[in-house]
Amino acid sequence: MSQTNHSPDSPGQIVPSEDVTVADIFSMSDGQLIEFMKKHWKSDNSISLPVNDFGALSEDELGRLSQRLLFVFISLSLSLSPPLSVQHAMLEDPSANSRPLDLSKLDSLLHAVASGQDSFARDGSCTSERETPPPLAVDPNVRSETAAYNHLVNDGGRPLYSIDVLETVTKDPYAHQELLKPYARPFLSYVSSYVDGIDYSNIAQMQWHRWQKFRKWQLDNRGIDDQAQFQEDSFQAFVEGLKDAWLGAWPDKAAAGIEAGIVDFKEPGGIWHRIQRDRNWQRRYQREPECMGFLDYEKALTIRLARHGFTQLFRLADDPKQQDKLTTWIEYLGFEYWWLDRYTTSFERKRHRYFNDWEEQRKLGLFEKEETPESVLTKAGNAHLQARFDQAGIHVREIQSEVRKLEEIFEEDPDRISTSREQCMEMMEEARQRLEAARKAHLQLKRAFGHFFDKTSYYPRAKRNVACQQNLVNWVVKQVPVIEAEQKSSMALSETQTQSSADVAARDVGRPGIPGEHDMNPSQSAAQVRARAHKPSSGVAADLETGRGSTHKKRKATTEIEDLVQSRLKRRALNSASTRASRQQVRAMADANQVDGHDGHEAQRTYDTDPISQSSQTTAIRGLRRSSRLAALAPKAEVPSRHNKSVGGSARARAVAPASALGSDFVPVEEVVGQAHSQAGTRTHYRVPSPI
């Protein structure tokens, strides 16, 4: 970065020194760049900038620099305009006028920059470290449109067109009238509650303003108070918003003007006062009529949509921010239908009044028989009325010419008139009377036409309002299936991602270090494992697994599992004769091991052959409550039996005997939970497999 110094022409203004780079130019403010260009302004109205690294720029950077220089050059040209007193002197003495700026030289300069030609000095090399250049100054209207576009998208709205074409549309809106047609409408009123926009060049701002009105509509019809927006903090935010909107190319002046007018904003009649007044009016009158609450509003909205042929089902949320995009857009459609109905009602009322006014003027002779109330509003009807008015003017001029000729003859040679002087005077008087009548008729026709169309201007305006609102509604309706398809596509993508995660988990089963259901149950195939992994839980087991459901429902489900566990204990205590024989054999083996000095490892190895591992038990009981897990894992007291009474056994042998060999004092909970998962929701059909 090159060094900077203070310009002697403007104390306190920082201007780069002679050795500058493109990065220095990008880092300058508009004021600094103007001063820098002033310093290198030549007598022939050309500019030669001592920038030494244009060749190191990319094509995109060259284009941005060209736009920046053009913007600053125009600002500099305006700043060099002579003061008003000098302009008056120039008007009085044209020779004192100075030569105009040579814009062709600027064009050559910018083309040289864009093409990377060596029209500037390139003694130095491109600096290795550059600051990130700030965004180039853009058209204030493009910036305002972009800001409105971003606000609309961030608030859940749907722009009329993509951000990619925003600048193109803003700079030449009349070339895209068909695209902008939904939001093109005439002025309605100077009241901000009615005004929807200005012109074609502000479509994004018009749409954002319209969406804000809809958001307020949502609050008002739900009975949600937004009075907090008129507190002091909101006023300060409002002022900051004005600063952001009014900055433009001269931020210091705009900010200073806002700061100076802050006090006036709050005064009666000021901007802030009018905003509050209009908001109160909107809160009272712009809403669904006769609605006493949210349910009434939802019902009224459904009826209004159905009346216009929209019967798609929807369900509003108490909090509009919690709705999905499709529901919000359907509610927005209802909002626009409300305005269409309002405009239509106003049009019908004004149409009746207009026809009465027209009939009254027709009886007075203003309109001819072939003219109708609607035909006079068309281009052809208007042309016919203009022709009538022009014909009346022609008649006036013809009579004027006749009177002028009579006057000339009488004044030049009265003897040429064969009639008497008295008769000649009568002829002139008659011509003058006809001229006066023609003039009066012409003026009366002009006034009558003007008065009628001024008086009935409400009718064509109301007619245009209906047509424009219908265009907007048609566009909103067309967006419903588009948004619905986008929403379904998003949901399908989410489900695909979930399915992919499940597939990955299924593929991980059996990998080293990743125990899975197939590892815990070797008899199952991989396909069965994947099928069970993809099978959604339901009923009681689903509630236990996911934690959903009411407290009563969870307690009831846990009690069922605990009852099933206790039933399992009792059944194992009353096993078949073969099982009791097996117990005797194992206990005898344990006694023999005790005599031989063994420690029961053989029994432990027998236990290790059980396919249900400890990790499987831990995984199986993870979804149960703590009391159920303790009941499932804790060892139970020996259930007395006839064999226990008649055959004594070693206490140590009973302590080390495996659960699988003794009929299992430890309940294999994974079997219980597995049954619960496979028989979810059918509490009377739980079945524990018989012991082998």
Closest CA relative to residue 558, chosen from 618, 631, 636, 614:
631
Residue 131 has pLDDT above 50, yes or no: no
Residue 299 contacts residue 293 (beta carbons within 8 Å): no
pLDDT average, residue stretch 320-335: 95
pLDDT average, residue stretch 561-585: 53
DSSP helix/strand/coil, 83? coil
Residues in contact with 551: Cβ distance below 8 Å, sequence separation at least 6, in sequence order: none
Q: What is the mean pLDDT of the chain?
A: 67
DSSP helix/strand/coil, 200? helix
List pLDDT tens digits, range 39-87: 776 665 567 777 766 666 666 666 667 666 766 665 555 444 433 333 3
DSSP helix/strand/coil, 268? coil
pLDDT average, residue stretch 276-297: 86
567: region left, alpha or beta (phi > 0 left; psi from -120 to 50 alpha):
alpha
pLDDT at residue 42 in the model: 67
pLDDT at residue 57 in the model: 67
Burial readout 69-97 (b: 16 or more C-beta within 10 A, e: otherwise): bbbbbebbeeeeeeeeeeeeeeeeeeeee
Checking 642-645 for CB contacts under 8 A at 24+ apart, the result is 643/580, 643/583, 643/584
Residue 377 has pLDDT above 70, yes or no: yes
pLDDT at residue 336 in the model: 96
Query: What confidence tier does 383 reach under pLDDT thresholds 50, 70, 90?
Result: confident
Residues in contact with 25: Cβ distance below 8 Å, sequence separation at least 6, in sequence order: 16, 33, 36, 49, 51, 65, 68
Q: From CA 73, how far away is CA 511, in angstroms rounded?
A: 70
Q: Which of 322-326, 329-333, 436-440, 680-684 has the lowest mean pLDDT?
A: 680-684
pLDDT at residue 39 in the model: 74
pLDDT at residue 329 in the model: 97
Q: Higher-confidence residue: 284 or 7?
A: 284
Q: Which of the residue ranges 1-15, 98-112, 444-458 has the most confident prediction, judged by mean pLDDT?
A: 444-458
pLDDT average, residue stretch 12-30: 59
Residue 114 has pLDDT above 90, yes or no: no
pLDDT at residue 585 in the model: 60
List pLDDT tens digits, range 474-485: 999 999 999 999
The tokens for 456 are 């009935």
Q: Is the pTM of this model over 0.85?
A: no
Q: Higher-confidence residue: 634 or 688?
A: 634
pLDDT at residue 290 in the model: 86
Query: How many other CB atoms are there within 10 angstroms of residue 194's CB atom?
Result: 15
Q: Higher-confidence residue: 193 or 470?
A: 470
Residue with tokens 């219908």: 470
Q: From CA 496, how far away is CA 135, in angstroms rounded?
A: 40
pLDDT at residue 493 in the model: 85
pLDDT at residue 687 in the model: 40
Query: What confidence tier does 457 reach under pLDDT thresholds 50, 70, 90?
Result: confident
Q: Which of the residue ranges 225-234, 423-432, 675-684 has the most confident prediction, judged by mean pLDDT?
A: 423-432
pLDDT above 90: percentage of residues in the chain? 16
pLDDT at residue 600 in the model: 43
Q: Higher-confidence residue: 363 or 582?
A: 363
Residue 621 has pLDDT above 70, yes or no: no
Query: How many other CB atoms are there within 10 angstroms of residue 188's CB atom?
Result: 17
pLDDT at residue 54 in the model: 62
Residue 430 has pLDDT above 90, yes or no: no
pLDDT at residue 344 in the model: 95
pLDDT at residue 546 in the model: 43
pLDDT average, residue stretch 248-272: 61
Residue 439 has pLDDT above 50, yes or no: yes
pLDDT average, residue stretch 611-640: 52
List pLDDT tens digits, range 633-677: 555 444 444 444 443 444 444 444 443 333 334 444 444 444 444
